[in-house]
Amino acid sequence: MRVYFPATFSILRELKETDSFSARSGWGFAVTPALVDFFEDGDEEEFAHFAFIEAARASLRLLAIGDEEKFPHRRVVITADLDDSRIELAPEQGEAVVKISPARIGFEEIAALHVDIETSEQATAAAIAAIDAADLGDEDAELTVGDADENFLAWYDTVELPFLVDLL
């Protein structure tokens, strides 16, 4: 199953240094039966985009913690293809949420890396500040987070990881 993991640039460094990373609390986002049922219509690509955006929003929450020093205003999503036996559906946590066990993801399982581009940093910074209020239903905050959702995350092949970490 393809799973989208929220991350930060620090997690990308961990991946480069150890050839693996730990999914925060073991959670990821994927196209699940609950997600497909949530929509009245749509196709696999639209469902995957929704799961990806959920991971990007979770990246905002990781950035809000304030642990990221180098790029505190750039979302990161890591896309991985995992064996179904490692995945437990968790619809009570959200339609696209899955629990991964073990939570350590190996480099060989990663399909792609996605990172906010520099011009997105202002919108991402605003979304980081608004994410908690958006989660509580504040409409203005939801619009601010939605603005960040619309921004492009650059796609990187896994072979580009060393260059991404060392040169960005």
Q: Which residues, at least 6 apart from 24, have a Cβ–Cβ distance to it below 8 Å?
A: 5, 6, 58, 62
Q: Nearest 5 degrees, angle CA 31-CA 35-CA 40?
A: 125
The CA-atom distances, in angstroms, between 139 and each of 57, 95, 101, 142, 163 are 16, 21, 35, 5, 39
pTM of structure = 0.96
Q: Nearest 5 degrees, angle CA 99-CA 102-CA 107?
A: 105
Average pLDDT rounded to a whole number, residues 1-27? 96
Integer Rg of the chain from CA: 15
Cα distance between residue 113 and residue 154, in whole Å: 8
Q: Which two tokens stand for residue 120?
A: 């997105």
pLDDT of residue 168: 77
Task: Report yes or no: 32 and 115 within 8 Å, Cβ to Cβ.
Answer: no
At residue 21, the 3 state secondary structure works out as strand
Place 134 in a pLDDT band, splitting at 50, 70 and 90: very high
User: Tell me: the pLDDT tens digits for 31-63?
Assistant: 999 999 999 788 999 999 999 999 999 999 999
